[in-house]
């Protein structure tokens, strides 16, 4: 069986369906695989996941705003959507300025 190239979209193909939602418990294994694919450690806590045609292609932690994404696909736009949605769901990202660092040191 010959390998087929990974082409998910072209102007002549059908539009892709993109969904962004909170990850469910039964998706933990899929998110661990996505993190391993991205050479990252798995996300912890509540996570938003971006699904393309039902497949998880990117995710963001609502606590740390750390992102994992499929490195074999162009996920820049998905990640941007995830960041905007995370801010709507969890509020602005905590600042990591001098004041925050001093508070942590205390």
pLDDT, tens digit (0-9, with 9 covering 90-100), for 13-34: 677 899 999 999 999 999 999 9
Q: Which residue has the tokens 């990640």?
A: 79
11 inside domain = no
65 inside domain = yes
- Residue 58 · residue 67 · CB < 8 Å: yes
4 inside domain = no
8 inside domain = no
Q: Residue 59: give the domain boundaries.
A: 18-105
Confidence of residue 91 (pLDDT cuts 50, 70, 90): confident
Q: What's the pTM?
A: 0.75
Q: Which residue has the tokens 């899929």?
A: 30
13 inside domain = no
3 inside domain = no
Q: How many domains does the chain have?
A: 1
12 inside domain = no
């Amino acid at each position: 069986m010959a390998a087929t190239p990974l082409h998910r979209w072209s102007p002549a193909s059908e539009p892709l369906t993109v969904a962004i939602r909170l990850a469910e418990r039964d998706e933990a294994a899929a998110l661990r695989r996505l993190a391993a694919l991205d050479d990252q450690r798995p996300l912890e806590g509540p996570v938003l996941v971006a699904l393309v045609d039902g497949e998880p292609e990117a995710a963001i932690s609502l606590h740390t705003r750390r992102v994992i994404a499929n490195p074999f696909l162009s996920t820049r736009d998905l990640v941007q959507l995830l960041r905007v949605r995370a801010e709507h769901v969890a509020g602005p990202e905590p600042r990591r300025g001098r004041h925050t660092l001093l508070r942590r040191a205390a």
